[in-house]
Amino acid sequence: MEPYDTAVMADCFASAKDTFNCLIRQLADPAAAALSHDLLEDLVAEQGRELLRRLLQAHLDLRAMRERRAALRARRGAGGAGMIGVDEVVRRRLESGHHRQLATIVGTVTVTRCAWRAPGAANLYPADTALSLPAGRHSAGLARLAVREAVRGSFDAAKVAITSRCGPVIGKRQLEEAVVAAAADIDAFYAQQIPLPRTAEELLVISVDGKGVVMRPEGLRPATRQAAERHRATFRTRLASGEKPCRKRMAMLGVVYDAVPAPRRGHDVIAVPGGRSGDRPARSGPTARSKWLCGSVSADPGEVIATVFDQAEARDPRHARTWVVLIDGARHQLGLIRAEAARRGVGINVVIDVIHVLEYLWKAAWCLHAGGDPVAEDWVAAHALSVLAGRVEDAAAALDAQATAAGLGPGRRGGVDAAVRYLRGNAAFLRYDEALVAGWPIATGVIEEACRHLVNDRLDITGARWGLAGAEAVLTLRAVIANGDFDAYWRFHRAQEHRRVHQTRYQAELDLTA
């Protein structure tokens, strides 16, 4: 092993030592005794960051010196050695002193390295590969920080947070580009993941939903963009009743999770009219375990549903478990789900979210009761219990009969008619009596929460208008973080980046050729 050149090392780190000694002198100075703790924090943070930057710079300078000496020794020893790239061109000319800037979490540093050159061929920089430098200016650590900050707040707020911590190392546009680049390997990462096996008794639950995202015009789907171009607003300052702004693109989200069956009765879901009697608490429904979220703004709904089924099949490749699919009743989604299940030959049990049924019952209730009438709650509970008991047609007939008996005209019974149509049109997917006995979930709370967390909390913040690439990156990265996979994904992404940027440039692993 070659001994360290202590003189060279001392020279490289001299600036860092001076900065460290300067900070000690400032803290030891009697004037520092008059500083409050917050001013001391600012002093140490600012000077400490500069000290770290100089330490990093010194290390890079030391590596540059060692690389130059090693390359010169190799050339002399091999009699004019060179380096061969993937283009099969041998580069025999060695030049030192090539510089590039690298923005890092401690500030911007300069990387000095040797270049192997040949006429008409791109330079090769072995030190870039050894350091695994990015293709652009910003370091992997800075990109990781950019992702962490940008997925939880606006890009402006992320830039402020990064500047406060790292100094002026990245602009807003570069931050957006870093986030988009960071999401490049998510599909490949999950394609090579193997979920842990589960028991056949556990339920395999799938749920999907859509959520609109406000887009810039170029990010809209063609039909929506054409509708927006044709739209002529009635008012200059606001939309008229019923007008649509035609500025949203649907983000499709999916979730897969495991759950142990939890049998219960209708009274455990809806309190009987007048409230529960006795001391027996309501039984809880099944608890979601090992939740896995995905979503996309750019992909079609069918592609997202196929991705969800991929994850489900990875958990149950032999289709030995009970598959429960929870939806909100959207016919287009239902058609895509049933088509995907048929293509894969898997049996599914479709259940429409009970909350949507309750919403229709409440709309019907306000057709028959005055606004704020407390009796309406017991009325809804009675009909909901009938639906939960499997008597969907009885509930629909009772609603229709009550509206007729109350003498409601066509203009006043819209809510009742909508509820009746919904119950009768979806009766095949409202078999709650069977679902409750089997211990299945009957509500889409997991995917609804995913929509709020992945979309509303970030993509729907006030004033946000998205480009397609940025919206897709933020949505998918938020899903990775919500799945608890970000650290593992980042290691995978860094390995993929290293391969793309460096390993594809060399025919061999940085071997010199005579």
Strand (E) positions, 5-157? 82-84, 90-91, 93-104, 107-117
Quickly count: other Cβ atoms within 10 Å of residue 56's Cβ: 18
477 shares a domain with 371:
no
Verify that 307 and 423 share a domain, yes or no. Answer: no
- pLDDT tens per residue across span 154-188: 999 999 999 999 999 999 999 999 999 999 999 99
Mean pLDDT of 251-266: 95
Q: Give yes or no: residues 75 and 139 share one domain.
A: yes
- Asked if 447 and 411 sit in the same domain, the reply is no
Residue 415 lies in a domain: yes
* 126 inside domain: yes
Q: Which helix (H) or strand (E) holds 375?
A: helix 375-388
CA–CA separation, 268 vs 286, rounded Å? Answer: 12
Contact criterion met (CB below 8 Å) for 398 and 383: yes
Instruction: Specify whether 465 is located in the same domain as 342.
Output: yes
Mean pLDDT for 56-68 is 94
Q: Confidence band (pLDDT; 50, 70, 90) for 315? A: very high
Nearest in space to 116 (alpha carbons), one of 100, 102, 127, 132: 127
Looking at the structure, tell me whether residues 346 and 390 fall in a common domain: no
Closest CA to 338 of 441, 208, 204, 210: 208
Tell me the pLDDT band of 514, cut-offs 50, 70 and 90: very low
Residue 76: partners with Cβ closer than 8 Å, 6 or more residues away: none
CA 219 to chain centroid: 19
Is 477 buried (19+), middle (13-18) or exposed (0-12) by CB count in 10 A?
buried
Beta bridge partners of 304: none
What local confidence, expressed as pLDDT, does residue 408 receive? 87
The answer as to whether 505 is a domain residue is yes
Q: Does residue 142 sit in the same domain as residue 225?
A: no
- Amino acid in the structure at residue 184: A
CA–CA distance, 199 with 259 (Å, rounded to integer)? 10
**What does the pLDDT read at residue 508?**
54
Name which of 301, 324, 292 is nearest 443 in CA terms: 324
Residue 482: exposure state from Cβ atoms within 10 A (0-12, 13-18, ≥19)? buried
Residue 206: per-residue pLDDT: 97
Instruction: Kindly state whether residues 304 and 389 are assigned to the same domain.
Output: no
**Structural domain contains residue 269:** no
Q: How many whole angstroms from its chain centre is CA 186?
A: 9
Q: Please name which of 104, 95, 93 lies closest in space to residue 169, comparing C-alpha atoms.
A: 104
For every residue of 222-245, DSSP letters joined together read: HHHHHHHHH---SSSSSPPTT---
Per-residue pLDDT, 15:
93
Q: How confident is the model at residue 232 (pLDDT cuts 50, 70, 90)?
A: low
Same domain, 251 and 214: yes
Q: How many other C-beta atoms are found inside a 10 Å radius of the C-beta of residue 468?
A: 17
SS3 content of the chain, % helix, strand, coil (to 5): 55, 15, 30
Rounded CA gap, 455 and 293, in Å? Answer: 12
Interatomic CA distance for residues 361 and 368, integer angstroms: 11
13 in the same domain as 90: yes
Structure-token pair, residue 328: 């909100």
Strands ordered across the beta sheet of 82-84: 90-91, 82-84, 512-513
Inside any domain, residue 320: yes
Q: Are residues 72 and 130 in the same domain?
A: yes
For the segment 20-50, what is each residue's pLDDT rounded down to a tens digit? 999 999 999 999 999 999 999 999 999 999 9
Q: Indicate whether 244 pLDDT > 70.
A: no
CA-to-CA distance for 65 and 71, rounded, in angstroms?
10
Check whether 230 has a pLDDT greater than 80.
Answer: no
Asked whether residue 310 falls in the same domain as residue 451, the answer is: yes
Calculate helix-pair angle for 468-482, 486-501, nearest 10 degrees: 130
Q: Is residue 454 part of a domain?
A: yes
Residue 278 within a domain = no
Which CATH number characterizes residue 216's domain? Answer: 3.30.420.10
Burial degree of 71 (CB within 10 A; 0-12, 13-18, 19+): buried
pLDDT at 278: 60
Of the chain, the end-to-end C-alpha distance in Å amounts to: 24
How many angstroms separate the CA atoms of 403 and 412, rounded?
Answer: 9
Write out pLDDT tens, residues 483-508: 999 999 999 999 999 999 988 776 55
Among candidate residues 19, 129, 79, the one with its CA nearest the CA of residue 501: 129
Domain ranges, residue 430: 354-442
Q: Which residues contact 99 (CB under 8 A, 6 or more apart)?
A: 110, 111, 112
Q: In the numeric block, which tokens belong to residue 11?
A: 């020279």
Number of domains into which the chain is organized = 3
Query: Starting from the edge strand earliest in sequence, which strands make up the sheet with 289-296, in order?
Result: 289-296, 248-259, 203-214, 323-327, 349-352
Q: Is residue 94 part of a domain?
A: yes
Band (pLDDT 50/70/90 cuts) for residue 66 is: very high
